[in-house]
Every structure is written in structure tokens, then in C-alpha cells.
Chains A and B, each alone.
Chain A
Amino acid sequence: MVKIGIMSFAHMHAYSYAACLKQLPNTTLGAVWGENPRRAKAAAKQFDTQYIRDINDFLEADIDGVIICSENVKHRAMVDVAASAGKWVLCEKPLAPKPAEARRMIRICNRAKVGLGTAFPCRYSPALIEARKQIQGGEFGDILAASCTNHGQFPGGWFADESLAGGGATMDHTVHVVDLLRWMLGREFTSVYCELGNQLHPEEISTDDLGSLHLEMEGGIQVSHLASWSRPKSFPTWGDVTIEFIGTQGVLNVDAFNQKVDVYSDAAMKTEWAYWGSNIDLGLVADFAKSIEEEREPSITGEDGLRAVEVTAAAYKSARTGKRVEI
């Protein structure tokens, strides 16, 4: 039985990971800690596990690994103490707002001889796995260009507080797609140009709520990506992950979460999409548990997290300087 703890429920994904730990065989949610005691205590109660108030007591508890779901800027410090306590670490994305911090996290985990994984669950999406298989099987020839989106509704709270998130929608919604393209095409990003917008929630936030990125990958692959919190409250779902691949032998469109039932409910007075596709978090959490069992790195590594953060940081630099930035 692999015992995993959760550090912080600041990021809502923590609730899904907790549910996965309860659902998977041979894993348990061993303990819960959080900087916000009320929230962590409530979560412990919800998932029927122990809440440990003191972080040192938590790290001394009988757990093999931790999943860190704090605000982005707090990732590094938490990885630091968890790794020093000999725990395997799965860290929510983005690994850290700044590449230098991400590099430090990787070094700390290496030194402590613990595995470090980045939470990029989209790699466990059956639609994206199938797309990768077809692309790598050469069914679309050489991929020349891609046009991507990762739109979302405005999450509110710390996500739009630069001192906690390190940025806005572009920080939040760029790394998934960057990681997917690296994983699917086996190439690294070489440059980025970025326009940042903040017109969609002018009253509420000062960070960006839209990033329009134009990137290049090794071999000259041309990529555009839209990262946003542009979906209105009345939108039928949280958002999307879409990619159009242009290959020499054809075009492949992926709309990763487009498995849904339309729901028209007078109680809601808006159309809603009930998702029936697979739970991608399950694969991510299962791999993390297995990496602990097998004492190996998680499949999606800290290095993968760093690569994505490097692209995001370069995008912000581009928006600041008005220039294309080499990565």
C-alpha cells in the first residue's frame, strides 16, 4: 500500500487527486496538511483521512510521497521540505513561476534522491494519447504547424494575484499545451512572441487574462497558442484544450474534452455540458504511486515541468519587451 499525503488544497485539483487516491487500488490518502487549517481540515473530513496541523509532524507521518497543490509561488518551499524529509513529490503545474526556482527544485530532489513529478494529466487523456500515436506513426507526415487553445473560465482567488501565482491566464494555461507538444512531437521550443491582454476582467484583476503566443519548435514547426480566462460564467463548461496539427499528409484536430452530453436545465438557466470522458487525473496519480513503489522518477518529470516554465517565462518577457524571445 502506497501512502500519499496532500500538501495544501489551494489549487482545486487537490480535490480530484484526493478522490483518485481513494479510488485507486493499493494507494491511500495518508494525511492532509495545509496552510489554511480550516480548508485542509474540511478536506481531511471530506476524504476521511487524518489532518495534521504541524508541517513537521506531517512530514514525519507514515507517508511515502506528497502531492503539492499550493499557490504557484509556494511550490518551491514545499518541495524543499518534502524532499528533505525523503518524500517523493508530485507538484501541481506550473512547477514554479520562475525557471530558476524550478531548476532549484529539481536539484533539491536529486540531492535528496527522491522522485519529482509535474502534474500534466493531459498526457493521460485517451484522445491525446491516440493523437500522439497517430502522429508518431507518421499518419500525417511531418508536422509543420499547430494551432492550439487552452481557454478557461476565470478561476478567481489567488490565480489572478501575481504575488501568489506569478502571472495570470498565460501562467495558468500555457504549460499544459507546451508539455503536450513536446511530448507528442519530440521537439523543444526555440522562440516565442506574446501579446498579453487584460480587458476581460478589468474590474477584478490586474494580471493578464489572455495570452496570444506565437512559438517555434526545433525544425521550424510554427505554433500559435491562446491561453485565456475568456470563457464567460454562462459558458457551458470550464474551458478547453484544443490542437489543430497541420502535417504534410493531412490535418488532425484534437478537442481533448469534447466528450459531453448537452444539459438544458431550467434550474440552471444555462446550457451545461456533462463530461463523460475518462478521468485523466487517475492515470497521473497512479503513475506517481507506481514511481514510489518502484523507486523511480515519475513519468512526467521535474525536467518536463521546467521546460514548460521556461517557455512561459519567455512569453512574459516577450510581452514586456515587445520582441520575439529565444528560449
Chain B
Amino acid sequence: MNVAIVGCSGMGRLHAEMIARCGLNIVVCADANAEAAEALAATCGAEVSTQGKRALARKDVDIVLIATPTPFHLEYILAAAKAKKDIFCEKPFCRTVDECKKAIAAAKAAKVKLFVGHVVRYFQEFETLRAQIAEGKIGEPGFAKIYRGGIFPGGGKSWFANYKMSGGVTLDCMIHDLDWIRYVFGEPKRIFGQALMRGGDDPMDYAQVTMRMKNGLIATVIGTWAHPSGFRVKAEVCGSGGMVHFDSADAPLRAQKRDSASGPNMIVPGSPVAESPYELEWREFIAWLEGGPAPRVNAHDGLKAVQMAEAALTSIQTGHPVRL
């Protein structure tokens, strides 16, 4: 199967590696930024394009990976559906719930498969938390807290700093945890949130959100793009008979290098695994295309995650809880 990559910055590059590991062939790398497209194409022997829609419609393309900034997801999904290509869309699914609905309708009408990459469902640590809870190790869960984030991605000039486009840390990053909480604990009832969403040359975002789930569980989620450096994930779930806890700072590798010519150099804790969660999501997606079972996350889940993030953003704006 041949893949067209649309969007060749960070996530596009990461997915290209996973696509290659899964034995698929990348035929074209497209990005409005020609340099980014060329750089990625060079690593996988693909052709270069600055015209995403033309590239994805090529006859030899079977799968389209969409890894552009969020507000462009819909137009590429529509174009890929029109061209009858199966679609792997990076999260967040789209910028708004309305866009998600249009995307789902288009894929359905065109009879193409549409996958949304909520990769946290594939992370081994989160799967282990889920399994321990399912085995009843903590009794009936009543409370969950997830913390995720670190440095602002790309600094003040990146599209992430345009909150209208990115939705800030709430829509772009915390959406992982909103999705995982819904995956494990069911549907949310109401949401309250606070966030900084500071712009300027030195942007910062820090979101604090609490969800009341329909089953009564309370979930508090902290998302940060306010740290000077690093990245950290912490999760805990408390129940009537115990508690599970994870902290990415507890890792098998921790290295510190002596200062180099370019200044102090630090390698953050590393936690390598034999199978990358990103590779796992690709393998499930490919198996689905080949007639296997549907992946553990679908486009409807992607829509629900956007709906939760949108509700959080509404609460952040209005200062009032939002019912779902």
C-alpha cells in the first residue's frame, strides 16, 4: 500500500518512520513549506509536493496521512474522501465538532475508512493503568487525575501560539487525556475549565479542567505549555479499594551530558519500548484496511474528544460549567 503524507513537520516525520516500519511505501510528501516536504521526502525516497490536495489524489496513493495544523484537517479529509483514499488523521480530529461531523459524513459517503490517531490509547503505561482498573485492583474508581505537558511547542512563532487555530493546550494536548478518560470511564456529564492562553513572543498556556462523568467519577486534568523545558506525564486513579499511579519522570534512562559548545546539554528521561505506540496504532489501522477488526479508536471517538475540548474551551471563556 502506498501512502501520501500531508503535513511534514514534527508529527509527519514521526508517522513517516512508523509507516516505513510497517512496510508501507511513502510515495509523496506534501507540505506548503517546500523545505519541510523536501527534507522528509529525502529520508524516504518519496516525491515532493507543495500541493497537498493534488498529491493525495494521485492514482498510486492508497492511504493519506493528515498531519497538518488542525484547522486544515477537514479540507484534506474532504479531498481524500473525494479521491476515495483511506485516511489516517492525526489528533485533534478537527478544530470544531461541526467540522468533525462533515468529515465523518464525507468518509461515509465515499465509503473510505477514516481513523483518528488518539495514540494515548496505545501507550503501554496507559494500557497498564486501564488493565489494573479493569482487574478490580482499585475497587470502584471514583477519581482520576492526569497531568501532561511541558515546553510550549515551537515557541511564539509557531501556529500553536495562534489559539484560534490550535485551541491551545486544551484542544491540542489535553485532548489525549479527555479521550482516554472517556475511553475508560464513559461519557462526561459536565465540564469546568480554566486556562491562561497567553500570546505574544513568549506564549504560555496552562489549562486546568474538571469533568464530572455520567457514572459519577470526577476527573481533573492539567495540561501545560507553560514550562521552560521538558515534558512530563502523570496519571493517577483512586478507587474504593486502592489507587494506581504513573509518573514519566520515573524512567529507566536518565542521562546528563557535559556542557557542549552550544551550551548546557541535558537529555530528559527516556523510556524506550520495543513497539512504539505510534507503530501500534498504524498496525491496527492497516489490519482494519485489510479486512481485520476495527481499531480501538474511531472517528466518532475523535469527534467526542473534540466535543469535550470545545466544551472546556467554552467554560474557560465564560467562567461557567458546561453541560454535555
Contact = CB atoms under 8 A, between A and B. Distances in A.
A50 interface: no
A200 B140 CA distance: 8
A276 to B, nearest CB: 21
A191 B318 CA distance: 13
Contacts of B147: 147
A201 interface: yes
Q: How large is the interface on A (under 10, 10 to 19, 20 to 34, 35 or more residues)?
A: 35 or more
B285 interface: no
Interface in A238-278: 244, 246, 248, 250-251
B313 to A, nearest CB: 14
B196 A144 contact: yes
A234 B244 CA distance: 11
B194 A231 contact: no
Contacts of B321: 193, 322-324
Given A200-B238, A235-B243, A251 B226 contact: yes
Contacts of B227: 251
Given A231-B243, A232-B242, A197 B194 contact: no
Nearest to B208: A224
A214 interface: yes
Contacts of B142: 197-200, 209-210, 230
B67 interface: no
Contacts of A248: 204
A203 B79 CA distance: 56
Contacts of A203: 240
A214 B196 contact: no
5 contacts: A197-B217, A197-B218, A222-B196, A232-B243, A324-B320
Closest 6 CB pairs of A and B: A199-B142, A224-B208, A230-B238, A222-B194, A212-B210, A232-B242
Given A210-B238, A228-B143, A230-B142, 16 more contacts: A147-B208, A191-B319, A199-B142, A200-B142, A200-B240, A201-B240, A224-B194, A226-B145, A230-B243, A231-B243, A232-B242, A234-B242, A246-B224, A251-B228, A322-B190, A324-B321
Interface of A: 144-145, 147, 191, 193, 195, 197-203, 209-210, 212, 214, 216, 222, 224, 226, 228, 230-232, 234-235, 244, 246, 248, 250-251, 322-324
